[in-house]
Amino acid sequence: MIIPAFDLINGKAVRLYQGDYLNQKNYDINLLFCLEEYKSKGIQIVHLVDLDGAKNSENRQIKLFKKILSYTTIPVQIGGGIRTAKDISTLLNLGVKRVVIGSSAIQDKNKVKKWLKIYGPDSIVLALDIHINSNNQKEIYINGWQKRTHFILEEIIEYFLPSGLKHVLCTDISKDGTLLGPNFNLYKEMSNAFKNINFQASGGVSTLQDIIFLKKTGIKSIVIGRSLLEKKFTIEEASKCWQNEL
């Protein structure tokens, strides 16, 4: 499915180039209107990123999310600096469908394993951001891509599989926000290796052809942000490409 994405700072839609807060582009949109429009066009879930919360967990945009969820019934998944069970419970109690866990999946694996058991695999999305090194290994980066880890993508997925891991949002950070096209080989390889995982591809989508090629890789969803905000194509065109490409 197509998952429209909005990165939010102080309630406003923005895009960061390669995760850099100093390289920020603002978009003049009415978020609530957009969500209602997407719902009317058959979109099944929207991806929201709390960049304020990601930078400072004390600065989470809870009031905004409460307003969004009271205004629209479109399902949402929310990420950005979620590090505690309280963070997860707060969002799920507001009516969030899925909570996106990033750095904690690497820094505190046992805790996240427990969360999968407590909240259920359908409520948790692991956001795993990778950079492919010279040895063709998918190295995981955390803390807003600032910190390289010694973990690779496959071993982290293997670690969480026994806990029922179901949803993985995978971003090739060299592609994100660039409009230079996705890493098709990455998603084809991962979809073939882990057939029970619902992969969400993220990063680089700029054309309708990208959507067609991504679906052929076997991934279950595509997260699209900048291309929709900058009207490279419409949500109707994106959905039609996804539905028609078998």
Q: Are 122 and 98 in contact (CB under 8 A)?
A: yes
Q: Which of 87, 129, 172, 210 is catalytic?
A: 129
- Distance, in Å, from the CA atom of 201 to the CA atom of 215, rounded to the nearest integer, reads 10
Query: Does the annotation count 7 as an active-site position?
Result: yes
SS (HEC) of 84-153: CHHHHHHHHHHCCCEEEECCHHHHCHHHHHHHHHHHCHHHEEEEEEEEECCCCCEEEEECCCCEEEEEEH
Q: Which amino acid makes up residue 123?
A: S
Q: Specify the DSSP element, H or E, that contains 61.
A: none
Query: Does the annotation count 129 as an active-site position?
Result: yes
Q: Which of 7, 172, 176, 210 is catalytic?
A: 7
Q: How far apart are the first and last CA of the chain?
A: 13
Q: Specify the DSSP element, H or E, that contains 242.
A: helix 235-244
- Distance, in Å, from the CA atom of 205 to the CA atom of 46, rounded to the nearest integer, reads 16
- Distance, in Å, from the CA atom of 121 to the CA atom of 165, rounded to the nearest integer, reads 6
- Distance, in Å, from the CA atom of 151 to the CA atom of 95, rounded to the nearest integer, reads 33
The β-bridge relationship of strands 98-101 and 221-224 is unpaired
The catalytic site residues sit at 7, 129
